[in-house]
């Protein structure tokens, strides 16, 4: 069983920064791929970034150069540092852990005002 607790969302002005955190519990987490997805109103959930247990990262094109994903394996925590935010980044951000199957957090709202 995997339990995910997200934090760090909120309201920020365009051009600003936010850091999301996701603390995961469960024995499989240390071997898993951890990531962040987002879902804007009326749109499908989409991958933002992911990181393997070995530190390999993958980013959606629209966040490259602005967002950074990293994890602390000792704490089973994954972070998403977001810079240069724009209104298009407004969405609910979901933490994800993948090991054989997907596990999801409850989501945290990020709102960017223009």
The sign one gets for the Cα dihedral 91, 101, 79, 20 is positive
Cα separation values, 79 from 10, 41, 43, Å: 15, 23, 23
What is the tens place of the pLDDT at every residue in 15-62? 999 999 999 998 889 999 999 999 999 999 999 999 999 999 999 999
3-state secondary structure of 61: helix
Cα separation values, 33 from 62, 87, 106, Å: 20, 28, 18
Count of all residues that appear for the chain in the document: 114
Instruction: Assess contact for 68 and 59: CB atoms under 8 A.
Output: no
What is the tens place of the pLDDT at every residue in 71-90? 999 999 999 999 999 999 99
């Amino acid at each position: 069983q995997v339990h995910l607790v997200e934090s760090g969302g909120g309201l920020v002005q365009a051009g600003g920064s936010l850091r999301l955190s996701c603390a995961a519990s469960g024995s499989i987490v240390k071997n898993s791929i951890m990531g962040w997805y987002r879902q804007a109103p009326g749109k499908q959930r989409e991958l933002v970034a992911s990181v393997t247990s070995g530190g390999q990262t993958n980013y959606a094109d629209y966040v490259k150069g602005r967002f950074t994903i990293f994890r602390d394996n000792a704490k089973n925590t994954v972070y998403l540092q977001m810079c240069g935010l724009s209104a298009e980044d407004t969405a609910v951000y979901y933490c994800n852990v993948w090991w054989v199957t997907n596990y999801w957090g409850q989501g945290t709202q990020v709102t960017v005002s223009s």
